[in-house]
Chain A
Amino acid sequence: MNDIILTVDGLKTYFYIDKHVIKSVNGVSLKVRRGKTLGLVGESGCGKTVTSLSIMQLLPKLAKISDGSIIYHSLKGDIELRNLPRNGKKMRSIRGKEIAMIFQDPMTSLNPVYTIGYQMMENLLYHENIRKGDARKKVIKLLGELGIPKPESRIDDYPHQFSGGMRQRVMIAMAMICNPSLLIADEPTTALDVTIQAQIIEIMKQVQKEHGTSIMLITHNMGLIADMADDVAVMYMGKIVESGTIQDVLGNPQHPYTRALLKSVPVLGIGKRRRLEPIRGSTPDPLNMPEGCEFSTRCDYVTNQCLTEPPVLDIGSGHLVKCWQCKGRCLT
């Protein structure tokens, strides 16, 4: 168990809105390996962000974790995050120090009234017993490492004086400043343009290599996953439909949803004549889910069997697929 840093098992997070129950996360199990990157992919609204907020215990008040366990394997022993009070001291000391998070939109993730340095130092001073002067030095060093030119003078600038890519670097620096063991990156590059995306990814890889940080990368960008992840979990309507190493999942996708997803990714130089193949239909209404397999209404391989909940099958060395069709034989 020592090579795993986070185990989420059977997590169910429901939103309770006006007597309706929206099952945003409905039985998610995943493992993040120490020092590795887990990519969590899925289309918008499938529960990726809710999963990460459940781990951080930052869910809005309407949402409740109704089942499952989230175990953080810290160096000092296992901690069941679900048992900690949401805003208690213990949980707050884990947030930021042990598990840090990067958000989607760097333009609004920094407080506009304080300098970059003040905000970064606050995080450090809050979690660690360190003198102000040392904290400042550490912040300057980290900013320099992340490619901010002239960090000694930029540290006293305000967020509006930074570009989007630089702000996202500052966010990464802020998240990394206490040297957390796990970094949850919730679509860290979605709001940035492509060249900046590449830089941010390089920085995240570099940080991971230097500090041995585990990363949980949430995205809907398949290219990003292919570039960065070691393991992949594909999510659909609150459930993990396929997971395994990147070679298994991207090289030998088994679940019809994963296949459809990969087919619908535009590839440069694909040729004008070949058309993209979007997944037909749209995601089901969360209040009115299809019976059995959630994907059955859009699946090309659907049979009567799919009206009952499919089992999770291990088709070899930890490559898990939640589909009836994979039993015993591989799809062609």
Chain B
Amino acid sequence: MKPVITKPQLTKHVKPVKSNLMKRNWQKLKRNKLSMVGLAIVIIIILGAIFAPMLTSYKPDEIDLGNRLAPPSSNHLLGTDKLGRDVYTRLLYGSRISIIVGISGAVGGGLIGIILGCLGGYIGGRFDRILLRISEVFMTFPSLILVLILIVFLGQGLFNLIFIFSITGWMGMYRIVRSRFLSLREESFVEALRAFGISKLSIIFRHILPNTTGPIIVSITLSMPGYILSEAGLSFLGLGVPPNISTWGNIINAAQQIDIIMNNWWLWVPPGFMISLYVLGVNFLGDGLRDVLDPNQ
């Protein structure tokens, strides 16, 4: 008997799964519970900030002198402050400014750091040494004092604050990007690009910079809470954002008197809680991102 030779079954052509780096990283991030909690906190707070007008019927600067320092009630969920303004409303609107300060400060400082780090790290030589010394001078100077001096010179204000945060907060990013560039510029793909005649700026910003995205995202995320805390601290001292704009820090500012701390807990506990919660959320998220994006982990 002849052996029956079966024709090999033609396997249906399976479309290969597009390995998308973003998608894979997202899967990895999803597995990290803590960072998902952080992400949820951050998203809820940001949504609250965006939809503030829909979540409250008061205006943040609506003064009601007949209803001062009222404890929480169904009318005023978190009570009112010394001028009769609704604390819950101010908290919602205040989160807008606090979040903006955090993001802009981190992104502004980050951008300066990235650009200087790219150029210094790639070009090297005297240019790099000078930048390094400048960054060391900035770092050795106590940053709070530097910020206070600059506020005195430039005056109070939201944009001034962001500007000041940017020019006093670029050193960390500069050092991260520079050190990545120092190793990446020796990679042979850089030599190959040069051998293909690609221009220097294109090599620096289009080819090497994307290789440092991981550390950059992590660094920006993790530096955000610092700016929010600085803003809160400065506003608490009355040097941050002008007091008529509500921010988390400005709300706590009201709690400078002992009797308020003792008698009116709703003026300082909720903003303090919000600051802690948001900072915690961002930190959780940042840690998760670092675990995902850092190839060494």
The interface of chain A, by Cβ under 8 A from chain B, is 56, 58, 61, 87, 91-97, 100-101, 103-105, 108-114, 122-123, 126-127, 153, 158, 161, 171, 174-175
Contacts and interface: CB of A to CB of B under 8 A. Distances in A.
A96 B194 CA distance: 9
Contact of A95 (B194, B210, B213): B194
Given A103-B188, A161-B19, A58 B195 contact: yes
B189 A111 contact: yes
A171 B197 contact: no
Task: Give the bracket for the number of chain B residues in contact with chain A.
Answer: 20 to 34
Given A95-B197, A111-B193, 4 more contacts: A92-B197, A97-B197, A103-B188, A114-B210
B211 A109 contact: no
A96 B188 contact: no
B20 to A, nearest CB: 10
Nearest to A161: B19
A111 B195 contact: no
A91 B200 CA distance: 13
A56 B193 contact: no
Interface string B185-200: 0011101111111111
B192 A109 contact: yes
B87 to A, nearest CB: 47
A97 B211 CA distance: 26
Contacts of B19: 158, 161
A101 B16 contact: no
A96 B197 CA distance: 6
Contact of A100 (B187, B188, B193, B195): B195
A55 to B, nearest CB: 11
Contact of B194 (A58, A105, A171): A58
A104 B196 CA distance: 15
A110 B190 CA distance: 8
A128 to B, nearest CB: 12
A126 to B, nearest CB: 6
Nearest to B187: A108
Interface string B169-197: 00000000000000000011101111111
B97 to A, nearest CB: 36
A95 B192 CA distance: 10
29 contacts: A56-B195, A58-B191, A58-B194, A92-B197, A92-B198, A92-B199, A95-B194, A95-B195, A95-B196, A96-B195, A96-B196, A96-B198, A100-B196, A103-B188, A104-B188, A108-B188, A109-B192, A110-B192, A111-B189, A111-B193, A111-B207, A111-B210, A111-B211, A114-B210, A122-B198, A126-B198, A153-B16, A174-B192, A174-B196
B207 to A, nearest CB: 5
Interface string B249-285: 0000000000000000000000000000000000000
Given A95-B195, A127-B197, A112 B188 contact: no
Interface of B: 16, 19, 21, 125, 187-189, 191-200, 207, 210-211, 213
B186 to A, nearest CB: 10
3 smallest beta-carbon distances between A and B, as pairs: A95-B197, A96-B196, A96-B197
B14 to A, nearest CB: 12
B194 A103 contact: no
Contacts of B193: 111
A123 B194 CA distance: 11
Contacts of B21: 158
Nearest to A126: B198
B183 to A, nearest CB: 12
A311 B234 CA distance: 80
Contacts of B195: 56, 58, 95-96, 100-101, 103
A100 B196 CA distance: 6
Given A111-B211, A113-B210, A113-B211, A94 B197 contact: yes
A36 B187 CA distance: 31
Contacts of A87: 200
Nearest to B198: A126
Contacts of B200: 87
A249 to B, nearest CB: 28
A93 to B, nearest CB: 6
A271 B213 CA distance: 56
A87 B200 CA distance: 8
Nearest to A94: B197
Nearest to B199: A92
A97 B207 CA distance: 20
Nearest to B20: A158
A79 to B, nearest CB: 14
Contacts of A105: 188
A175 B191 CA distance: 13
Nearest to B212: A113
Nearest to B207: A111
Contacts of A153: 16
B199 A171 contact: no
Contacts of B196: 95-96, 100-101, 123, 126, 174-175
A107 to B, nearest CB: 9
A113 B21 CA distance: 9
B215 to A, nearest CB: 13
Contacts of B198: 92, 96, 122-123, 126
